[in-house]
Amino acid sequence: EGFHTCHPSARCVNIDGGFRCECDAQPCELSCSWRGQIVSDGARWAEDGGCRVCSCAAGVASCRRAACVCDITDNSTALPVSVDASLSLAPSSCCPHCDARYHCRHQEMHHVTFRSGERWLYQCQICECLLGEVDCWEPECEEAAGGCCMGTGAD
């Protein structure tokens, strides 16, 4: 992205696909220049509301998309192991996710989901997922010995 600079005590060297900072003499500072500020070598920080994680390594500042954790609905409520771990995980607002309007969760087994239009049998009722809402009704049949209707056609 444009021009890069190294700390005044280091020399900027162009390489294929980027640059690196080199020291010709000691003392030499391999800090990074980031948005008008000096950042220490080895420092890590978040950008774009935590969606990107950045680091300074040997005078080169770089950013990448923070990792998404799919089994946590909001990473801001997770307890990170360390500051580095919390910088590596993106908040859920940064991560792609399924549109919940078209899925329904099973009444008891919350890890089981149904697409809109799918039907299932739950406590002797036929249930259907309709655009994110679960609708259940009593089937029209005679009860069998087990207490539920037989042959309702539900999955």
pLDDT per position as a tens digit, 44-99: 999 888 899 999 998 888 899 988 876 555 444 443 434 455 567 888 888 877 66
pLDDT at site 83: 47
Residues 49 and 15 occupy one common structural domain: yes
pLDDT at site 134: 93
pLDDT at site 33: 83
pLDDT at site 152: 47
- What six digits make up the tokens of 136? 């259940």
pLDDT beyond 70 at 117: yes
Would you give the distance in Å from CA 52 to the centre of its chain? 11
In a domain? residue 145: yes
pLDDT at site 145: 55
Domain range for 38 is: 11-94
Is the N-terminal amide bond of 96 cis, ω within 30° of 0? no
> Domain end: 94, 116, 136, which one?
94
- Where are the strands (E) in the chain, listed by range? 11-15, 18-22, 32-34, 37-39, 44-47, 52-57, 60-65, 103-105, 113-115, 119-122, 125-130, 133-137
Residues 88 and 64 occupy one common structural domain: yes
pLDDT at site 67: 87
Residues 20 and 77 occupy one common structural domain: yes
Residues 28 and 90 occupy one common structural domain: yes
Would you give the distance in Å from CA 76 to the centre of its chain? 11
> Domain end: 74, 94, 114, which one?
94
Residues 6+ apart with CB under 8 A from 67: 88, 89, 90
pLDDT at site 135: 94
* Signed CA dihedral, 137, 142, 148, 150: sign only: negative
Residues 81 and 105 occupy one common structural domain: no
pLDDT at site 127: 95
Tell me the whole-structure pTM to 2 decimals: 0.52
Give me the mean pLDDT over the 27-40 stretch.
Answer: 86
Residues 6+ apart with CB under 8 A from 87: 44, 45, 46, 50, 53, 66
Could you tell me if 105 and 127 are in contact, meaning their C-beta atoms sit under 8 angstroms apart?
A: no
pLDDT beyond 80 at 22: yes
pLDDT at site 147: 64
Number of separate domains in the chain: 2
Mean residue pLDDT of the chain comes to 79
Residues 65 and 107 occupy one common structural domain: no
> Domain end: 94, 116, 137, which one?
94
